[in-house]
Amino acid sequence: MENTALAHHLLLAGLLFVLGLTGVLIRRNLLVVYMCLELMLAAATLALVAFSRFNRTMDGAVLVFFVITVAAAEVAVGLALIVALFRKRGTVRSDALTTLRD
């Protein structure tokens, strides 16, 4: 019943990753940039699960478990940093944060 090949899943993962990378490059709202980073992470986990399923090993799936854990911790810290930044500078737009450039 299910006849998707490994290549199809990897293609989806690759395109998702490219979309996320494009978002990181063109968006200026730090929160949206951060969501695009998470999208790239999700694309990587998709590739891991696909490889794991097609190689009939459990290790890739367990690695995805850890990736989800680390991503949750990372999101909490990153959002706290963004809130701290907003409290100090009043903006979350990356083109308004040029102290180190000027």
Partner 1 sequence: MPDGLFIFFAALTLGAALLLVLSRNAVTSAMGMILALVGVAADFFLLDAYFLGVLQVLVYAGAVMVLFLFIIMLLDTEDPQGAYPWKTAALGLAVFFLLAASVLWLFHWSGAVPTAKAGATPPELSANPAEFVTAAKAFGRLLYTKYLLPLELAGFLLLVALVGVVSLSKDNPENKA
Question: Site residues for partner 1, window 23-82 (CB under 8 A)?
Answer: 23, 25-29, 31-32, 34-36, 38-39, 42-43, 45-46, 49-50, 52-59, 61-62, 64-66, 68-77, 79-82
Q: How far is the CB of 101 from partner 1 (least distance, A)?
A: 16
Task: Name the DSSP letter for residue 17.
Answer: H
The answer to the question of residue 97 lying near partner 1 (CB under 8 A) is no
- Minimum CB separation from partner 1 for residue 5, in Å? 4
For residue 12, state whether it binds partner 1 (rule: CB under 8 A): yes
Distance from C-alpha of 81 to C-alpha of 45, rounded to nearest angstrom: 25
Least Cα distance to 70 among 47, 96, 44, 101 occurs for 44
| Cα→Cα distances 87→80, 84, 90, 102, Å | 11, 5, 6, 21
Q: How many chain residues interact with partner 1 (CB under 8 A)?
A: 74
> Min. distance of Cβ 100 from partner 1 in angstroms?
16
Give the separation between CA 32 and CA 100, rounded to whole angstroms.
22
